[in-house]
Amino acid sequence: MYNWNTPTKHITRSKQSTIWKLNQHINFGLNGKKLNLRLIRKYWNDLAIDPKRKQLLRYLLWGKLS
């Protein structure tokens, strides 16, 4: 992941950094990488995603529209 506003080599492996990385990937693009669906399901309630994008992901992950 290329991030122009944060030095990613200083990020630790913590819950907050994992959530931050997922938010960055979902909101700003994957740059050719795949999402880890297990992590998305695990941190679903903590993700800060655009509501329409979150609705689409909810449908793709669990088959629910609402």
- For residue 40, the model assigns a pLDDT of 93
- For residue 33, the model assigns a pLDDT of 83
- Structural domain boundaries in the chain: 8-62
**In whole angstroms, what is the distance from residue 28 CA to residue 53 CA?**
11
CA angle 27-19-34, nearest 5°? 60
The per-residue pLDDT for range 16-59, each reduced to its tens digit, is 888 988 888 888 887 788 888 999 999 999 999 999 999 999 99
pTM attached to this predicted model: 0.72
- For residue 65, the model assigns a pLDDT of 75
